[in-house]
């Protein structure tokens, strides 16, 4: 409901804003396969599109500003194929199922981030190499945007040095390698084309299964994607534990003694100062306005009107995110995951 409200509001009032980034990152980080990440993320996207159409929106009024967020893991060619297959599937379904007419509505735009779950606490400098390879896969796969993780994030918040190395990794790929200069430079490779075809076919099988259940909402309510992800995560961990999946520095090429890595330690005063700052802001508010805005928001949620105009007014009067979330919980309730084991 709130996502559709956001998409509708943005299409009418801020048409160049990206209202939602449809994320597969958390799906992959939870242990899914690349195919599952691809399928479930696109199924989420199709669910949003269907909900917007049910609201009465024209597909070409909002689809061009939808964007995606994919994880980039260790399997170099698989990740490139995943992004290529994502573009194929999105374009085809938007045209054939949802009747998109504008090319921009069929264009999949995506942010990518290197896989946090692939980083290791053992020999953490190895993560520099992992991130560089994953970043190159994202670029060759045609990502529009990229976040490179810092090598020490598995230990703590990153140091300035680690963040700089992560940034320089992107800059070296962008400025020194020539990799971004050609559109789809891997296209035509017998191996990659076949891999892309396979990923598209397998992802579409998942999407069809979800459609047969009545769509992604009903699939989630049944626990279907959650169980598929949990099973995949279990299989991956078994391969790791049994040494069938090599993790350099963890189950192979292990070092008994490692040079300690300095990691960031935050002064506890940082948290205290932020809490005090928020407290001062809340104390300075006109509480009559705050209460009125919260009441208006609750009424909008119950009444079925678009919540965004009310929400914008509420934020202008310094209603907090926590207070907004409390209203959502009171009106819409709390989601409880189905038991899948």
Locate the domains of the chain by residue range: 2-241, 268-332
**The pLDDT of residue 311:** 97
Quickly count: other Cβ atoms within 10 Å of residue 328's Cβ. Answer: 16
pLDDT over 80 (residue 341): no
Model confidence pLDDT, tens digit, residues 46-76: 999 999 999 999 999 999 999 999 999 999 9
**The pLDDT of residue 327:** 97
Q: How many residues does the chain have?
A: 341
Tokens at residue 74, please? 């260790």
Quickly count: other Cβ atoms within 10 Å of residue 151's Cβ. Answer: 27
pLDDT over 80 (residue 252): yes
Closest among 150, 152, 149, 148 to 170, alpha carbons compared? 148
Quickly count: other Cβ atoms within 10 Å of residue 327's Cβ. Answer: 22
71, 28 Cβ separation under 8 angstroms: yes
Tokens at residue 97, please? 């199922």
**The pLDDT of residue 242:** 86
pLDDT over 90 (residue 93): yes
What average pLDDT score do residues 160-166 get? Answer: 97
Residue listed under structure tokens 């390879």: 133
- Look at domain 2-241 and name its CATH class: alpha beta
**The pLDDT of residue 172:** 99
Closest among 44, 45, 50, 48 to 99, alpha carbons compared? 50
What average pLDDT score do residues 32-39 get? Answer: 99
């Amino acid at each position: 409901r709130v996502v559709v409200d956001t998409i509708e509001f943005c299409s009418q009032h801020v048409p160049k804003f990206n209202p939602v980034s449809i994320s597969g990152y958390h799906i992959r980080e939870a242990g899914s396969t690349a195919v599952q990440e691809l399928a479930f993320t696109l199924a989420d996207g199709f669910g949003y599109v269907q909900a917007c159409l049910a609201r009465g929106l024209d597909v070409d009024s909002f689809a061009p500003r939808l964007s995606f967020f994919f994880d980039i893991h260790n399997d170099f060619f698989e990740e490139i194929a995943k992004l290529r297959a994502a573009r194929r599937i999105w374009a085809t379904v938007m045209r054939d199922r949802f009747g998109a007419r504008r090319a921009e509505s069929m264009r999949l735009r995506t942010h990518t981030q290197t896989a946090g779950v692939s980083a290791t606490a053992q020999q953490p400098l190895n993560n520099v190499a992992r991130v560089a390879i994953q970043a190159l896969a994202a670029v060759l796969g045609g990502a529009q945007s990229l976040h490179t993780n810092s090598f020490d994030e598995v230990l703590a918040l990153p140091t300035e040095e680690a963040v700089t190395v992560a940034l320089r990794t992107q800059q070296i790929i962008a400025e020194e390698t020539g990799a971004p200069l050609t559109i789809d430079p891997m296209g035509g490779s017998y191996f990659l084309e076949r891999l892309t075809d396979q990923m598209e076919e397998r992802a579409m099988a998942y999407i069809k299964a979800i459609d047969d259940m009545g769509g992604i909402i009903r699939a989630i309510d049944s626990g279907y994607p959650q169980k598929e992800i949990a099973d995949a995560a279990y299989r991956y961990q078994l391969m790791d534990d049994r040494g069938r999946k090599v993790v350099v520095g963890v189950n192979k090429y292990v070092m008994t003694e490692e040079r300690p890595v300095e990691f960031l330690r935050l002064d506890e005063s940082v948290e205290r100062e932020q809490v005090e700052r928020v407290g001062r802001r809340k104390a300075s508010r006109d509480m009559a306005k705050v209460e009125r805005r919260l009441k208006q928001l609750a009424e909008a949620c119950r009444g079925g009107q678009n919540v965004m105009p009310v929400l914008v007014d509420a934020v202008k009067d310094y209603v907090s995110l926590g207070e907004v979330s409390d209203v959502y919980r009171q009106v819409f309730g709390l989601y409880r995951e189905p038991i899948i084991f």
